[in-house]
């Protein structure tokens, strides 16, 4: 019974992909959905992520502003090249992160010009991020990455992650 919403969602996606609501499409989608749900069972996730819509909008807004800001910085680096860029690989420990939170963070960092997630160390919940130019302040880079982490946890983190933020005084 707990798989019913998934079956209905998969059926709706199937019908949407076909582009017409017919009995045959609904029946075919239902059959495919039942086979998929039956043959590929979901694993139980002990602590599910909770999506907070307002916090998700804050994360998206921060990401968009950071995207524009870093795009301008990279453009200036290209137009006014310096002989010495201070590049760095920064370890970013992520507070009790789930796979989905690590994926969100790694992609948000990689999509931002001037930064690239090189490695995700799942057992240690750590991201290794290459920064094209840290300038004179490596701590500012770490603070920016910590801000992205904080906003992502508040947007889609589990209750345990949020409690961890509050325990570290970062919430």
- The predicted model gives 27-51 an average pLDDT of 80
Residue 19 has φ and ψ, to the nearest 5°, of 85, 5
3-state secondary structure of 42: coil
Q: Report how far residue 113's alpha carbon sits from residue 47's, in angstroms, rounded to the nearest whole number.
A: 32
Per-residue pLDDT tens for 76-125? 888 887 777 888 999 988 876 777 788 888 999 998 888 999 999 888 88
Where residue 12 falls among pLDDT bands split at 50, 70, 90?
very high
3-state secondary structure of 81: coil
Per-residue pLDDT tens for 134-167? 877 888 888 888 889 899 888 888 887 788 777 7
CB half-sphere exposure, 153, CA atoms < 13 A: 22
**pLDDT score at 50:** 76
Q: Kind and range of the H or E element at 73? A: helix 53-79
Q: Report how far residue 24's alpha carbon sits from residue 137's, in angstroms, rounded to the nearest whole number.
A: 62
Spatial contact of 133 and 88, defined as CB atoms under 8 Å apart:
no
Distances (CA, A) of 139 to 61, 98, 136, 146: 23, 25, 9, 10
Is residue 48 over pLDDT 80? no
**pLDDT score at 3:** 80
Q: How many CB atoms lie within 10 A of CB 17?
A: 9
Spatial contact of 131 and 141, defined as CB atoms under 8 Å apart:
yes
**pLDDT score at 139:** 87
Domain extents for the chain? 4-39, 53-167
**pLDDT score at 133:** 85
- The predicted model gives 60-88 an average pLDDT of 87
Tokens of 67: 């995207």
């Amino acid at each position: 019974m707990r798989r019913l919403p998934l079956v209905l969602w998969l059926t709706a996606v199937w019908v949407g992909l076909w582009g017409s609501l017919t009995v045959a499409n609904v029946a075919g989608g239902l059959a495919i959905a039942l086979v998929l749900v039956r043959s590929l069972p979901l694993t139980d996730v002990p602590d599910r992520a909770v999506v907070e819509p307002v916090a998700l909008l804050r994360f998206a807004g921060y990401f968009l502003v950071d995207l524009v800001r870093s795009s301008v910085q990279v453009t200036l680096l290209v137009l006014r090249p310096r002989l010495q860029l201070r590049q760095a690989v920064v370890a970013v420990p992520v507070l009790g992160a789930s796979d989905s939170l690590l994926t969100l963070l790694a992609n948000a960092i990689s999509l931002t010009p001037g930064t690239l997630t090189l490695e995700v160390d799942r057992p240690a919940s750590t991201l290794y991020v290459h920064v094209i130019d840290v300038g004179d302040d490596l701590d500012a880079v770490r603070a920016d990455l910590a801000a992205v982490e904080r906003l992502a946890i508040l947007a889609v983190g589990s209750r345990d992650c949020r409690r961890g933020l509050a325990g570290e005084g970062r919430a």
